[in-house]
A and B are shown apart, each in its own frame.
Chain A
Amino acid sequence: MGKSAVHGLERLNDLYNRKESVAKEYRKQGKKIIGYLCYFAPPELISAAGMVPYRIMGRMDDEIIQAHNYVEPLGCPFIRNCFEQDLKGNLDFLDGRIIPHSCDTAQRLYGIWKYYKSASYNYCLNVPHKVTPWSRDFFKRELHFFKESLEKYGGVEITDEALRNAIRLYNENRAMVRELYDLRKEQPPRLSGSDMFKTLIVGMAIPPEEFNALLKEILAEVKNRPRGGEMLPRILFWGCIIDDARLFELIEESGSWIVSDDTCIGTKSYLRRIDTSHGLMEGLAKGYFEEFRCPRTDRGPDIHRFDYVLDLVREYDVQGVIGYTLSFCDPFKLDYPDMRDYLSENEIPMLLIDDDYSLSHLESIRTRVEAFIEILE
C-alpha cells in the first residue's frame, strides 16, 4: 500500500492491527475483495482474476449475538463467529464469499449464510475426502468450475499467464516464509512464534505482491538481529484454525519459544511450493488437496500419518507440543488421542487447549501452559 514510514516488524504490527481497513483501502481503489474461508480454495485463482483474496477471519473477543437467530449453538465456533461478523456488517468490504466444503459446518452454513446475507458473489467449492487418483481429478474439475465462475463474476478471462504469475507470487511468499521458519531453527530463534503468526495472518489479508514486499523487509530485519536471547523450551503448536496472536503471545510470555507448527495457516500451507511442471491445475490440486494435510481428509488407518509432525519435531528441535482444538471440531478432536499417544511414545509431551474460539479463559490457560513449560525445562 504505497510508501510507508514504518518497516519490517513495526509495519507488520500496524498491518496486523488494521488488516480489515487495509482491505477496505484496496476496495476504494476499485478492486474486488473476495473472502475465502479456508485454504482449500486457492487464492492464486482469485488473484489471477485481478481480485484481492482475503481470508475470512473472526474476532475472538466478540460476543455472538445475531448468529444465534439463524444457526444452532452447536457448531464450529470459528465459522459461527465469521458469520456473526458478516451479520454485524464487519465484513461488508467483501464483494464475494467462497466457502470450500472443508468440514460439515462450512458445507452446511454456506446456504444459510447466503440466504440471510448474500454476497454479490457466492461460491461453494467441493472437496473430496479421500486421496485417490479420481478424487484428485474431481478436485481438479472443481478448480476449473471455480475458475469459470470467477471469470463470469469478474467479467475477465483468467489466462494461463495470469495464473502462472499468481502462482509464482505465492511461491515467492512461501519461499520467504520458509526462510523465516529456517531462522527459527536456531536456539534461541531470532524470530518469535508470535511474530511469525502475525506475519502469516497479515499474509492472508493482503495481495501476494504486497506480502512479498513485507516479507523482504521482515527477513532483512530478522537476519540483521544479533544472535542471543533466552534459551527456552521449544514448542510446536498443533491444531485448529486460529487467527489471533494472543494465544501465541501467552505461550511465549510463559517462558517458551514457539518454533514450529502444524496448522493450516502455517506449515501445512507454506512448507511446500506449487509445482506447475505438470500443469497449473495439476499443481494446485496437488498443493491444495493431495498434500494439504487437513485432518478432515482421510489418509487411512495408520499412525504413521503423523510422521510428518514428528519430522517437524526433530527438524525444529522441539521439546513439547501444545495443541489447540475448537469446540465441535470433529476432525481434530478425533485425531487428538492418536496424536498425543504417538508423540508420547516418542517422548514428546503434549498439552491440549480446548477452546470455543473466545480465549475467554486466558488466565486459566496461562496457568496450564506455565505448568506444562515447567516440565519441559
Chain B
Amino acid sequence: MSHAANEMSRAVRSLETVRNSKKLLPSFFSRENAENRKVAWCMQGVPTELLEAFDLMPEWPENFGALCAARSVAPRFIAAAESEGFSSELCSYMTNTLGYCKRYCDLGTEPPESPPQGGMVHATMLLGSGYLCDPRIKWFQTIGTRYFDIPVFNSDPMSPPIDRDIDDPRMIDHHMQHLRADLKDQVAFLEKHTHKKFDVNRFREIMSISQKSIESWRRVYDLRKVKPCPMGSEDYFSCVIPQMFMLGKEEALTFFEKVYDEVKDRVDRGVGVLKDEKYRLAFYGLPPWHNLGFFNYLESLGAITVFEGAYYIGPPVDIDLDDPLEGLAERIWKNACWHHRTSAEAMPEICNPALQQGIGSKLLLRLIREYDVDGVILHRTRSCRPWSWGQVHYRTLLEKEGIPALIFESDMTDVRMWSDSKVKAQVEPFMETIAQLKYGKID
C-alpha cells in the first residue's frame, strides 16, 4: 500500500534550534559508537539516566514507530503484524515494531523498507515499562517470546488511584517501597546483562545534568503563555526528543538552553510564530506523527497551539542526590504526586520514571486559563486508548467553561486513518465557532 505525501505530511519548524536538532543532538540522530555498545530497545518509562550510567545504546521502538509513520512505511510493518494475527486495534507503535520484527526474522536482516537510517540497531536486551498501558506490559513479552530470544526486563511503576490520600505516610511508604525495589531490580538486571558495576558517582553526575535539563526545558513552558506565542506544537513535538530519550546527557542540557534562549529572545522582541495571532489553541493527545504539518495548517488559519496535553512534565522537584538511586525514586514519586494533585476524575497513569505525562482534567482547566486558550483540539488515536480515554469527559468539562473542544479521530502511527480533507472538514467549522465566540463574527 502506498501513501503519497499530502499537504500536512511534513511540518515546517519555526525555531532555528529545532531545525538544527540533528546537528545539536548527534548521539540521538547519528547513533554514535553504536558498534561498541550494547543495544537495548527501550520503552518510554525506562529512566534514560540509567541507560547513560550503563553506557547502553538505546533504540526506542515508540520513536521508531513515529519515524516510520513520518516516512509512511508504518502501514507496511503494521500489515505484517496483522498477518501474524495481531489485531488492527492494537497499539500501532507496537504493531509497527512487531511487523518490523517479523520482517527481520523472515529476511534475517533489517527490512529494506525501513526508514532511511536503516532499521533499529539489533537489540541485546529489551527494557520495557508497565507505565501507562497494558500493551506496554505485553509488547516486549511478545517480542521475547516470538521473535528474539534475548533478555527482557519490564519495570512496573505503580500509580496511586485518584482518590487515595497521597499525603498519608503509609501510602507514601507503600508506593516508595515498591518503586525502590523495582528500580533496584532494574539496576541488578542491567549489571548482569552489561557486565558492568553500577557506578553511583557517575549516576549522581548524570542525575544532576538531568535535573538541570528539566529545569531549563520547563522554563520554556512559561514563555509560551506570552502573546504572541513564540513556539507552537510543530516545534514542541521535536523538543520532546531530548526530554524523552536523552535526559542525563550534556547534549540535552545544551539543547534546552539554546531553545530557551531562542524563545526568550522572541519574547523579548515581541515576536511570535504568527505575525497575526488570531486564536490560541491547546492540543491534547498524541500527535499525528505522519502529518505534523497539521499544526502548520492550523497556523494558516491564524491559530497557534500554545500548550500540549502530551509529554507534559510537571515543575522540577527537589531531590537529594546523596543516594542518587533513592533520589530518582523520590523524583518519580514527587512528580506523580504533583500530577495526582492536578488531576481529577479522569487521570492518566502518573507514575512515570521518564517524567512526562498526559495532563489530568484539573490541570487542563487550569492551563486553559493560564494560557488564555480559545479552544482545544483533542486527538483521539484509535490504536492508543490510554491517551484517548477521557477525552469525551474533558470536552464536557471544557464546554462547561465555555471553551469549544473538538475531538477528531485518526492515529499516531497508522497513516491509513488520516485524510487531509476529512480533517479540514472538521477543523474549519470548529474554527468558525471559535471565531464567532471570540470576535462575534465569522472571519
Contacts and interface: CB of A to CB of B under 8 A. Distances in A.
Contacts of A110: 161-162
Contacts of B76: none
Given A74-B380, A327-B89, A330-B91, A128 B156 contact: yes
A330 B90 contact: yes
Interface of B: 84-87, 89-91, 126, 130, 133-135, 137-146, 152, 154, 156, 158-163, 174, 177-178, 181-182, 185, 344-349, 380, 382, 385-386, 388-393, 396
Contacts of A335: 138
**Which 8 interchain pairs have the tightest Cβ spacing?**
A301-B144, A134-B181, A124-B161, A111-B345, A337-B85, A115-B345, A334-B138, A130-B156
B141 A301 contact: yes
Interface stretch (A45-53, A159-167, A292-300, A369-377): A292-300
Contacts of A129: 130, 137, 154, 156
B134 A104 contact: yes
Contacts, number: 161
A134 B388 contact: no
Nearest to B381: A74
B174 A138 contact: yes
Contacts of B143: 301
16 contacts: A69-B392, A71-B392, A74-B380, A124-B161, A126-B161, A128-B158, A128-B178, A129-B156, A132-B182, A137-B177, A296-B134, A296-B137, A300-B152, A328-B385, A333-B86, A333-B90
A152 B368 CA distance: 38
A103 interface: yes
Contacts of B385: 72, 74-75, 104-105, 328, 330
A354 interface: yes
Interface centre among A138, A303, A327 (most CB of B within 10 A): A138
Given A128-B178, A137-B177, A112 B86 contact: no
B149 to A, nearest CB: 9
Contacts of A145: 174
Nearest to B383: A74
A111 B392 contact: no
A72 B391 contact: yes
B146 A337 contact: yes
Contacts of B162: 110-111, 124
A363 interface: no
A130 B87 contact: no
A132 B145 contact: no
Given A124-B161, A124-B163, A303-B145, A72 B388 contact: yes
Given A105-B385, A130-B156, A334-B90, A112 B345 contact: yes
B89 A328 contact: yes
